Amino acid sequence: MKFTTPIVFLAAGVIATPTPELCARELSQVNTIMTTVLNGIQSLDGSICAYAGGDGKDLEDASSTMLTTIRTATYNAVAMLALTMDEAIAFQPLSDELNAAGDKLLVDLSDKVPSFAQAGICDSTLSWVAQIGGNVHTLMTSISTKFPAGGKGGDEITHFDGIFQEMQDRLSTCATGGKGSSGSSGSSSGTGTGNDNKGVGTATKAVTAATATASVTAHTNGTRGASPTATTVVTAGAALMTFSGAGLAAAIFALVL
C-alpha cells in the first residue's frame, strides 16, 4: 500500500509531536526518579542521626548507597524528554519535600561534626560528603535542562553548592585539628575525591543513554557525555531544587537532596 506525500507528512507530524499522554509519562518518570532520591536522602539522614561514635563505617556504607542512587537518577533524568510549564508546576510539592529533606540532612550532619572530631573520622567523612556534593550538583544541572526556562534553577544550584562547600570547609578544619588546609578533598562544584571520579559535579559528566534504566552503577567512571548548564535553564526542583526557588539542598542530599 502506497501513502501519498501529504499522508506521510501528516504521519511524521503525529509521531514528532509529544502527546499529553507522553508528557504525563515524563512527569510520572521524574516523580519516580526524584522520589527515589528523596528516600535516599531520608535514609542517609537517618544513619547520620543514629551515629553515636565509632569508625563511621555505617555512614560510609549509607553514603555509598546514596551515591549510587544519585548517579542512577542522573542517568535516567538525562534520558527524559523536556517537561512543560504545567508539568513543572505539578512537580512543586515533591520539590518542596526534597528541599526540606536536604536542608534537614545538612543540619543534622553539621550537628555531628563534634562527634566526628572525637572519633577522628572527619577526614573520611569529608571524602564522602565531597563526593555526594559533586554528584548532587551534576544531578541538579542535568535535570534542570528538562524544565522550562525562566525559573531559578541556577540560583538553587549555587545555593546548594555553597552549603556543601561550607560543610566541607568545616570538616576540613576538623580533619586538620583546626588548622585548616590549603584545599578540601573535594568541593560541591564537583571535584570530590575518589578514584572513580565520584564527584563529577561540574555538569560535564557524560551520559549518552537513549533510554532510562535503573541500572547504571556499573558505569560510574564519570566519562559519560552531557554537559547541561546550570544557569541558563530552570527547574522545578530536581534532586534538591525547587521551581519556586525556595532552597534546599538536596541532594539528592538532590540531593537530596
Locate cell 534553577: which residue? 153
**Number of compact structural domains in the chain:** 1
Supply the pLDDT for residue 136.
Answer: 93
Residue 8, pLDDT above cutoff 50: no
Of the candidates 28, 43, 254, the residue with the CA atom closest to the CA atom of residue 138: 254
In a domain, 8, yes or no: no
Range of the domain at 63: 20-257
Cell of 167: 560543610
Supply the pLDDT for residue 14.
Answer: 36
Q: What are the two backbone dihedrals, phi and then psi, of residue 196, each rounded to the nearest 5 degrees?
A: -115, 20
Locate cell 525547587: which residue? 242
pLDDT digits (tens, 9 = 90+) for 100-125: 898 899 999 999 999 999 999 999 99
Share of the chain above pLDDT 90, in %: 37
In a domain, 3, yes or no: no
In a domain, 31, yes or no: yes
In a domain, 6, yes or no: no
Least confident span in 14-18, 103-107, 159-163 = 14-18
Local confidence band at 254 (pLDDT 50, 70, 90 cut-offs): very low
Q: How many other CB atoms are there within 10 angstroms of residue 153's CB atom? A: 30
In a domain, 14, yes or no: no
Supply the pLDDT for residue 110.
Answer: 94
Supply the pLDDT for residue 216.
Answer: 36
- CA atoms of 141 and 251, how far apart (whole Å): 12
Burial (0-12, 13-18, 19+ Cβ within 10 Å), 155: middle
Of the candidates 194, 246, 208, the residue with the CA atom closest to the CA atom of residue 79: 208
Three-class DSSP category at 203? coil
Q: How many other CB atoms are there within 10 angstroms of residue 178's CB atom? A: 8
In a domain, 9, yes or no: no
Local confidence band at 132 (pLDDT 50, 70, 90 cut-offs): very high
3-state helix, strand, coil in the chain (%, to 5): 55, 0, 40
Residue 143 Cα distances to 146, 182, 186, 226, angstroms: 5, 33, 22, 11
Supply the pLDDT for residue 28.
Answer: 84
In a domain, 75, yes or no: yes
